[in-house]
Structure 1
Amino acid sequence: MKRFFTNLGIVQIFCSLLLVIGIMYVSNYFVYRNSISGIYDKVAQNNNLAVKTMIQSFDDSFRSINNMIHSIHGLPYDSLESEEDGRIDMVKVYTMQDSIAALVSSVDFIEEAIVFYDDYDLAITSLGTSSLSDLFQRKYKHDLYNETYWRTYMKGKNAFKVLPGQDFKVATASSWQRKKLMVAVDGNKIRISNKHIIILIDEAALLKHVNQKAMIPGASFIVLDQDRSVVLSTDANSDLSGVLDEVYFNPASEASLTKEDYQYHFYKSDFNDFVYINKVPYQFQNIDSVIKANEMIMLTAIICAILLSVLLSIYLNRPVKKIIRQLGGTSRGNDFRKILSGVVKMQMEIESTRRQLKDAESEARRSVFLQAVDEYAFDSQHGLQLQSSYSDLVRGKYFVLMMVHLDLRDKGQTPLPIEGIAAVLHTALQKEHDDVQVFYDKNLHFVALIGMGQPGDRAILLKDLKRLFAGLGQESLSAYSVWASVSELYAAELKNYKLAYRSAMNGLLYRAVNETSHVLDAEKIHYGWSMYFPFDKIEKLSNYLSNGKLHEGREIISETFRENASRNVHQHQMAHIAKTMFLYILRHVHPNANQDDEMYKLEQRFLQKIDCAHDYLEIEQALIEAAKHIAKHSKPEETNKLNPGFISQYIELHYMENLYLDHIAEIVETSPKYFSSYFKKTFGINYVEYLNKVRLSHAKELLKDSTLSIGEIGEKTGYLNSSTFTTTFKKYYGISPSEFRKQHANE
């Protein structure tokens, strides 16, 4: 027994456990003292952060309401009277209703937006129209807020006002429902338009939107308007008498006041001079009993820990001997220093494993990122795993995503390995910014995540990147053409990676074909759709290739691309034009030409060249090469007039004439009934619809590029009179020709 207790191993185990217990006790004691004394401060600090987030949400909500009011004021039709007979023009009313419905649907806490005029007993809402009196009697019923109240209120000069929530009786499909609504009324001291606007706000939905539950239990939130009147309160007893008089509130800072059992924290809005008050309990109750209970728990834990140390020392004696034997040592004396020699033997294996894990970790980060930007969502459990894995991708509060696309200039050159390119990009970017992660996407696309602390850092980063990539194209990556697109700035949250990826990809897709900069700013993309696609010339291109006139066909291809380049269309639009022309001329290939999948292979090579092209000249050259190959296998042009090519070309050349069904059927030498059936089957739409689309397509060009009157344009595009032309145009495009011309006047 004496030998057992004097054994060096058991003494080492006991002393080690006792030392651990002592350290844990001392550290727990300090934590205990600090937590008891400062627990209220920490909870209050967390509550303060939650309240500031709520205030930001309130400011954003009131900003949305203000923007909606200005948007409604900006709608046309200050007068609803018809220009012809002076009565209310219902087209204007329905147009305004649709616009209001679109605005209301974009904000989930808005119950309704109501627009009315001084001169009309008419209220326009997102759901329809009615008289103003019926609206407040049969839809939103309140003892005070009726038609008379609002008309009287609007006659005075008032600033923008948010009225406290009141219980309204809101009509539903089968009964009345009681709902607490706040009312926002636009100011009329400076008239923006003749409209009077009332916004009804669902108070419960607004509180849910700002996440009221984030506050500590027992706290309440009060909102005061610019006149220091209570607009909203989560406290049933929101009596502030004496509170506002006792606090000196500097608008440029926060203020606090302790009164009775509560603290009042005052915050000034950065947006509209509203004051937000957070009322919180001053201290926790029964804190002394908590202190005594904690002291008893710590004393009991010390006694139990010492007893446990003794038991563990005896229990671990034998396992320690086995560990030493497993590591190749002798168990005599159980000296823990003998374990060191075994541990050292394992370090070489661990170092090798560490290198493997580093490579695996890099690939895992790439996998996490690619899953985060996938357009299809994973389940919630997988999302939590991604959240824990991605947390250290960037350290900054914000980030931008940069998409880098490379293309080997000389296809005969030996390309760098993917990991080599990634290392070059990572090293170069780290010299400019230390918070960088680089991943390989696909097809020589690389993604760089760049973290930053302030939103203003993005502008500085763009300047540095333009200088950096100009140097990379001449030095480390001189064998490649390099393009980069920088996304908009986003908060460093998992859900924003997908948005940033899409933003940077749009920068590459929507870059102008004449773009000279190697670094594109996704925020400054100019979207346009002024593409040039001459259907008649494309049909001629098919005929030229069918008849072996490759030179004439090449001229049409070059002219089409030059015209689109002069319009500075987007890169992906130029690619779509080339693909459409390719598929159009592919129709004339002889059926026997696809032996051994020759046409299939040609199409795959063409599409690959288009997707990897850096400028429109490469796209043009790829289409010319495909056209040469297709010309060798084209079938002779059909002499039968009843074929899609002849019909579409004839309509394109004669659309301005009276192309009745009987007339076109006579041209193609068939009956009207058969032609109508053939046309619907071949083109997918009936003949009249197709003819109208061709005519209106030319009419749109004339409306934008000529000074002809509406009637003259209608006659030039085949319509008998301006009334028929206007009716047809509005049917297809939803607006009249004159409105279309106004919208495109500055193009």
Structure 2
Amino acid sequence: MRKDDYSLKRFFTNLGIVQIFCSLLLVIGIMYVSNYIVYKNSISGIYEKVAQNNTLAVKTMIQSFDNSFRTINNIIHTIHGLPYSSLESEEDGRIDMAKVYTMRDSIAALVSSVDFIEEVIVFYDDIDLAITSIGTSSLSQLFDKKYKHDLYNENYWRTYMKGKNSFKVMPGQYFKVATDASWQRKKLMIAAGGNKVRISNKNIVLLIDEAALLKYVNQKLMIPGASLIVLDQDRSVILSTDTNSDLSGIIDEVYFNSSQEASLKKEDYQYNFYKSDFNDFVYINKVPYQFQNIDSVIGANEMIMLSAIISAVLLSVLLSIYLNRPVKKIIRQLGGTSRGNDFRKILSGVVKMQMEIDETRQQLKLAESEARRSLFLQAVDEYAYAADHDLQLQSSYSDTVHSKYFVLIMFHLDQKDKEQQSAMPVERIAAVLTTVLQEESDDVHVIYDKNLHFVSFVGMGQPSDRAVLLKRLKRLCANLEQEELPGYSVWASVSKLYAAELMNYQLAYRSAMNGLLYRAVNEPSNVLDVEKIHYGWSLYFPFDRIEKLSNYMSNGKLQEAKEIISETLRENAKRNVHHHQMAHIAKTMFLYLLRHASVTANADDEMYKLEQQFLQRIDYAHDYLDIERALIEAAKHIAKHSKQEETNRLNPNFISQYIELHYMENLYLDQIAEISGTSPKYFSSYFKRTFGINYVEYLNKVRLSHAKELLKDSSLSIGDIGEKTGYMNSSTFTTTFKKYYGISPSEYRKQNSNE
């Protein structure tokens, strides 16, 4: 074999330089083909295709707008068609609240399925009352306390509705809308019902959420740069997705033909006009159109691509020669040979090294975090370990707190919207807490406990630093909810100050946990200082009312049950009981409710699952309102599966519940015997045997227990109370009351009023 042939074979065996050149050339080829395809499509036909698609999208949006306005118009006409042209009672001229509540329920049913309607307001000319889907208030308070605007206030709408106006949609304006916690700035459009021809005495105003309306019509269907402008029948702009929607002189240049469409080109935009078949509204689609200097752009693109190709080929040759030798050295350093596919060997070696480094780094980080968490959990464990184990903990303790003193902060987070928002990983939350706390102290360690509980050790040089930290911590928690941890409510419990010793970990942990357990349900601050906890046991648990709650559940009276739940919890909230005490009360009431769940509900563990979910919500509730909502939701669920005992009415539960609900009537023995499906003689014997007293005595005790409540809590006369509790006259009532309690009703009222 000749020497030249051997050298050529060796050259192609070591393909380094050829690989470099071919790789660069391949990149150039891909770039050229890609640029050519983009060039051909963008210049020749892509604009026309996009414009056609945009036209179809805009027509779809217009159809959605028409459907929206049709829905609004139907709601207004339906409300006008509701009864009660006047809310005044025919008897005494006062407002009949039964009519008001009926109208409120009708309005709520009409707007419940329309997402873009913020609220419907109905009011009358001569009554200072506004009816909405969620309740009633005066018209002035509604626009001062709920929907606040400088122009659209009570006086404006009173004046506007006195004039003769047709149906009108007003452009979106920014309102200050009151929420549970603060004011929210929201852009609302207003649809006002026409009154040129009076359909009814009602004045109707609809508040429309502009953002929700645009979401409903799906404005994202339009091409980028395009916008949609909506004009009403008077050619006034009521909605625009373009911040600069100047239509001066444009609308006058358009003539609508029979197809209800027109087009106009002006400056760099094309204006497409569409007229609605439903309400004579005009929709203008503003679209950027093709530039006129396309030929010069084409020539420039061709010259740029040709120059780039020539330059890239020359650069590829030079780089392939220059990089050949360094590539071979890199391969040898990675442990490979210089023969074969050089780039693939380099890439595989680098990737392998990077993966090993990243994996080792993650393992070390995880091991360090778990070791610190394990140290903490063992240190706060209340059970003793072996002596050698304690020595190991003591040797590892020096890495946790370096300061002379420390406080333990127990952070508890609660996700506000558990269904819609994605939960943040606990590692990320711990990192955020560490970062913000390090601004207050250099000696900070954050450890995840469980159930969104995070424990933080904050080192301190002197005892006075604790008071400074408490003041800053309130601001820190507020910033976390608004910025770093949006979607979460954050509150913290700060332990007492302890010397930085391992034995104090357990004391600090228990101290911070007590802050969460013994916090007052009406605690206004989201930072709890355990040194300022006031312990008390002034609980409110009315056994007679709870028994009524049980009876209401068994009879399907959910509304009455909800009232007892709210009354009991809110009375305890007034007494400012501790959180764990409120939780115990709620759990006890839940067990009373659970007694009435049917056997079929327990067959598939449905009640077990409900109980577990309820207990978890109670333990981690933020305030008593969260507890109240959880208990009412549980009551609704249990009511769907309540026991049905009507098939056998001769049983103690039915009889006691029936007497409790009908004690104010003339409930004779033969009547309740007939209801129970038996004879008076048998019923009397059964009642005495079951309840231990005869029927008349039992009925009197029920009636008199309610009479005592009215004597204490109302200003009704003795005669009225006797009639309300089932007695024929005040004389019978007084005689019976004195027989059972030894004093007259008036004396009982006087004694209790003195107390």
- TM bracket (short chain): 0.3 to 0.5
> What is the TM-score with the length of structure 2 in the denominator?
0.40
> What is the TM-score with the length of structure 1 in the denominator?
0.40
